[in-house]
Amino acid sequence: MLIMRATDEAVESFQDVDFEKIMEEMGRYNEAMISAGVLVAAEGLDDAAQGVVVDFSAEPPVVTDGPYGEAKELFGGFWILDVASKEEAVEWAKRAPMTGPGLKTEIRRVTRIDEFPQDNEWIQKERAWREATGQL
């Protein structure tokens, strides 16, 4: 999974960039991954000001409306790729559009259901749901 992260300053720096230009760059990047057969999913996220945080540091949990001034970086979207190695994921991440100071792409491997104990009741229920919905 390639995770788009950005500081508040980096997000602000794109406020004056033409939206059509951003869509063109993202479209070309996504098209390259589709053509290479590696793109599984990709989504952008709404503005952090529209979200909330549920903080479990207290009982009951505290719900705070966005934006999140205490956050150093915000998660802005993601791509899920099916690649052969971490190195291949890194190469795709290096090609991501919207680069510059305060922008990062974090790479994390998504675990598969097969990696969990298959005799676990909850894993069995999830596997059945995935099979019923065509995800396996």
Contact assessment for residue 17 and residue 103, using Cβ atoms and an 8 Å cutoff: no
5-42, pLDDT tens digit by residue?
A: 888 888 888 888 888 998 999 999 999 999 999 999 99
Mean pLDDT of the chain: 90
Whole-prediction pTM value?
Answer: 0.83
Residue 133 has pLDDT above 90, yes or no: yes
d(CA 2, CA 12): 22
SS (H, E, C) 37-65: CCEEEEEECCCHHHCEEEECCCCCCEEEE
Residue 111 has pLDDT above 90, yes or no: yes
Return the pLDDT at 92.
96
Residues of the chain with pLDDT > 90, as a percent, come to 62
Return the pLDDT at 99.
83
The CATH number assigned to the domain with range 2-111 reads 3.30.70.1060
Query: Long-range contacts: 85-90, Cβ < 8 Å, 24+?
Result: 88/38, 89/2
